[in-house]
Chain A
């Protein structure tokens, strides 16, 4: 109470501490963007204007960084150019990671200040200037620092720093090297804006900004049409979700008159519990999340987004940006806890996505595609968490996932790097990402192998690895809330919420089984069994340089021990529920509201049973994969037969892309082409309006130039006519 009073009086416990420097957090990456962007621009403009394709380096897109994408390599013929480092490569290698590291250091300092400040009941809001005062709408350029944004900032800058360092090695020979770091820095800037913004519009700017950077980085090697198309797909699919987000903001403003988080939180209660309005707002917000965080039905862009460089997949499409939807719901906990029906939808969609994506992951051959579907599936878990009101569990899984999935992606990057280098030496144009071309890599890259196993065990939920704790907490949370919560009392399509939650729990277990299976499959096909790369190529397989393995080691440690951040009561040692306690001021009230005011407590026996079930299903998956899969029987991709039966359906991703194409894309395209383009655009706009206005302008211009004769006498006559017209307008009426 005293603290609240102090905050109201303007003396927040954080004021006067290093937290006042919060503005510097996003500014540092922005500075990096400016420097790297200038380096990229300057080097481009020196090449001369004659050939635009030269503007991105002497090799066009045929750089020497490993190309992700099946045919990226084959399209270029002889690619044995001498390796030319970019002229500003050293500058970018220093500036790019350094700004992130500084930002991370500052974030750590602020974190310590927050811990030192003790209990912090209200967020620390710093307003810089009034940005958009329009009528009743007052949007400030303000940052909000609270326990939730602090967690996100630490993840973003921490994991971001590691991935930037990794990129120094991975992208070293790319002709667009400074451009790459410019985009990556810009991404971090927008991501920090997203999590630090003190109101929905500012969050939305970050939201759109990371979308832009994602688009730029997916299409980083844009001279391949497939990569550029993937970028566009991500952009367009995300627009559908953003439409929902915008509508939600409009509704919030129309009903509450404010868009700041503190304002909406204060006014949320006036929307009424379980009302139509708050449910609609939450559903539209969630539509935004399905776009950004790749949930059914808008998940289709994420697998294609693997066209970008692999560190980008790790940072943007696994660890940070795609979790923005989870953050948005956790941030809007005061809304979702008022809308049990909307929350049920979130849980159901999350669970279905988890299962569906995991099933596709079972039959992918591209190592990055496996991880992409795995990401979609894990994001589903997070939504199950935050949707069911277990906000801490959702954020906890977001954190551990950031560790182990970043590790998996960077590990796969390391593998692809090695494969690509081997193929490069022998002028082989095979697919460097297809697991059928790998096998037995454990012998050549020990470090990567060990670390990726750690991550695999973590994601499969093997006890005492980080993923075990967070996934267990989500599944346990759903199970307990199926017994007693506002969600369980609500009805969705006439079905009682508790049934849906129990169903989602079962789906979650099934997805966990599949997760263990496809991850083990990936490890076996990549690292175990005989090598299928090729006899000549095999000699060139080697571990990546330390600048790449170093970040992997750090992530490996975090993946292993990340569970310590929030240990359950079942573990009789260590700091219990650290994260839960930390996030309590932000989500505590909402968590209690969902569970009808009582903390969800399970008896010791039930909790043990839940844990045993989760562990058993994970281990079962691993053993199933081990016993069923025979890496010795695999043949390289070139000689591999097509899939048959149900495997083919899974390999083709349930034909969802095809279905979307038939049901949505083609009708839209044909309407656009037939009606909008031929009819409206060429006919009406070009024909009548553009040509018409051109004609009109010509006529007016002709008439004007006839009058504009240069003769003063003419001018004076026109003036006199004008005088008469004006006098007429005054007097004739």
Chain B
């Protein structure tokens, strides 16, 4: 149906999955607080959280297939949103599933940790739905505050506490920039609604207005922090390293995905006319992020820090899709986020298996000779690494994702040839650590005194196997996302955001 978002009931229905998750999370929060902390209670809260995630996922898919549309309003009702929601909910599900086992092993009995993941996810869903700066801000804050808490959820870990505090301080700092940016944009255009801003920039001839330009610049900084682009990335390695691994995966994949989707929506709906003004800054950030993220990644021996820099590098690739500023870029970005999330969760799932009892960070030495003791884990990690690197076939979806982004960059209205070249070259650099990891697992002997990894807990195994299987499946048959999105009537709230389509423009009938 076509929602009229001015009518409260219809707005409520249009927010269905988001509200379901939010209210469910509230109930579970009460449930978590109901009993004293214990390992068993932690697990049951976790399992119920998983159930809620799956329910919300079903609701989202149902909304996707219904093909609802909406008139102008504060939120978007389009397939772009539902696809982003699916990525977010998959990420939340993986995080909770990994956390249940990980918390149990580390003696974290706080059942609230799962509820916090749910709350963060509901913030993200709000964020990807937002078509109004206020909703954007609301979503970002709901998401961020939950994530700050999650980063420090392991109260016994000094590194965790340090990381959480840093994340909070710098996050607050950057949120100030974002808010200031929103205020300036509002000052320039008198609107907070994205499409209205877009129209007014043109109708009021604001393109040269310093207020608008500085406002956009500050918003770019705010988002740059959330998605960890260079030079706003400094928090990421410390925070990723200190947080529990499932939460690190959540931050590296899902938080980034949600922030990028909102980033893209704002830039394409509110600022398309201002592209000449922001293009240089976005392209510069993209290039710097790709180069520096991957170059520093080479020097890491701590695996989680390595993946932190890898995730910074991926933020650079995704910025290329934004710089393309086209429908192709949008669809390429969604596919990239899905592929990247799956590979990341597979990798972090394996990391949780290998982590010891102590707080000692995992290094490459812990992976040496993994093939000889746990061949399947080594194979899984290899697929994850190859996927992150964008290796064809064995890397599954990772290759297709990079390919789509490259296509989007080259076929953009203003072809981004230089960025495409940087993307390919930095991918070569990234092979230096992704393949090194593979080499270490298969060719190095297992070091003396490095204990064999513990058995993989069932839920963790489900996550790893599921993520790897999806990565490979999407590599062979990437059209699945297209079909899922096209199953509903793909009418968008506004033209520039299509559903994932073939980035290369195959006629619809074939």
Contact = CB atoms under 8 A, between A and B. Distances in A.
A133 interface: yes
B399 interface: no
A359 B213 CA distance: 83
B237 A701 contact: no
Contacts of A45: 372, 375
A710 B163 CA distance: 9
Given A49-B372, A712-B169, A716-B173, A697 B502 contact: no
A218 B358 CA distance: 50
A49 B177 contact: no
A725 interface: yes
B429 A693 contact: yes
A726 B170 contact: no
A604 to B, nearest CB: 54
A700 interface: yes
Nearest to A727: B217
A255 to B, nearest CB: 20
B173 A133 contact: no
Contacts of A716: 169-170, 173
Contacts of B13: none
A573 interface: no
B231 A718 contact: yes
A49 B369 contact: yes
A715 B234 contact: yes
B296 A726 contact: no
A664 interface: no
A691 to B, nearest CB: 13
A730 interface: yes
Given A708-B237, A723-B221, A731-B214, A130 B299 contact: no
A715 B235 contact: yes
Given A133-B510, A134-B504, A715 B166 contact: yes
A135 B504 contact: yes
Contact of B220 (A129, A131, A701, A726): A726
A45 B378 CA distance: 13
B449 interface: no
A130 B479 contact: yes
Interface string A682-720: 000000000001101110110011011010101110110
A116 interface: no
Given A133-B506, A697-B299, A710-B238, A721 B479 contact: no
A134 B234 CA distance: 39
B25 interface: no
Given A693-B429, A726-B217, A719 B173 contact: yes
B281 A726 contact: yes
Given A719-B231, A730-B214, A730-B281, A697 B479 contact: no
Contacts of A705: 299
Interface in B312-329: none
Interface of A is mostly: helix
Interface residues of A, number: 39
Interface in B243-279: 277-278
A574 interface: no
Interface string B201-228: 0000000001001101110110011000
Given A712-B169, A723-B177, A697 B217 contact: no
Given A130-B479, A134-B504, A719-B174, A49 B296 contact: no
Given A719-B231, A721-B231, A701 B506 contact: no
A138 interface: yes
B331 to A, nearest CB: 14
A722 interface: yes
A729 interface: yes
A698 B445 contact: no
A381 B261 CA distance: 63
Contact of A701 (B162, B285, B295, B373): B295
Contacts of B278: 730
A727 B432 CA distance: 34
A698 B479 contact: no
B296 A704 contact: yes
Interface residues of B, number: 53
Contacts of B235: 715
B369 A701 contact: no
Contact of B299 (A701, A712, A715, A725): A701
Contacts of A696: 295
A722 B177 CA distance: 12
A696 B428 CA distance: 14
A719 B237 CA distance: 15
B506 A719 contact: no
B504 A133 contact: yes
B109 interface: no
Given A129-B477, A731-B213, A697 B224 contact: no
A712 B476 CA distance: 44
A48 B371 CA distance: 11
A705 B224 CA distance: 21
A718 B224 CA distance: 13
Contacts of A133: 479, 502, 504, 506, 510
Interface string B431-456: 01000000000000110000000000
A703 to B, nearest CB: 9
A574 to B, nearest CB: 48
Nearest to A722: B231
Nearest to B235: A715
A45 B377 CA distance: 14
Interface in B454-510: 476-477, 479, 502, 504-506, 510
Interface in B138-190: 162, 165-166, 169-170, 173-174, 177
A49 B281 contact: no
Interface string B93-109: 00000000000000000
Contacts of A715: 166, 170, 234-235
Contact of A719 (B213, B225, B502): B225
Contact of A723 (B165, B218, B504): B218
Contact of B234 (A129, A693, A718): A718
A337 B231 CA distance: 64
Contacts of A135: 504-506
Given A134-B504, A716-B173, A722-B232, A730 B292 contact: no
A701 B309 CA distance: 11
Contacts of B369: 49
Contact of B224 (A41, A130, A722, A730): A722
A731 B210 contact: yes
A107 B367 CA distance: 47
B217 A731 contact: yes
A697 B429 CA distance: 9
Contacts of B231: 718-719, 721-722, 725
A320 B257 CA distance: 51
B298 A701 contact: yes
Contacts of B71: none
Contacts of B477: 129, 131
Interface in A655-703: 693-694, 696-698, 700-701
Interface string A479-517: 000000000000000000000000000000000000000
B90 to A, nearest CB: 23
B78 to A, nearest CB: 24
B421 interface: no
Given A705-B299, A719-B232, 19 more contacts: A45-B375, A48-B372, A49-B369, A49-B371, A133-B504, A697-B429, A700-B292, A701-B295, A701-B299, A704-B292, A708-B237, A719-B231, A721-B231, A722-B230, A722-B232, A723-B221, A726-B217, A727-B214, A730-B216
16 contacts: A49-B445, A129-B477, A133-B479, A693-B432, A694-B298, A704-B299, A712-B166, A719-B231, A726-B221, A726-B281, A727-B217, A730-B213, A730-B217, A730-B281, A731-B217, A733-B280
Question: What 10 A-B pairs have minimum CB-CB distances, sorted nearest first?
Answer: A701-B299, A49-B372, A722-B231, A729-B281, A715-B234, A697-B298, A730-B217, A700-B295, A727-B217, A704-B296
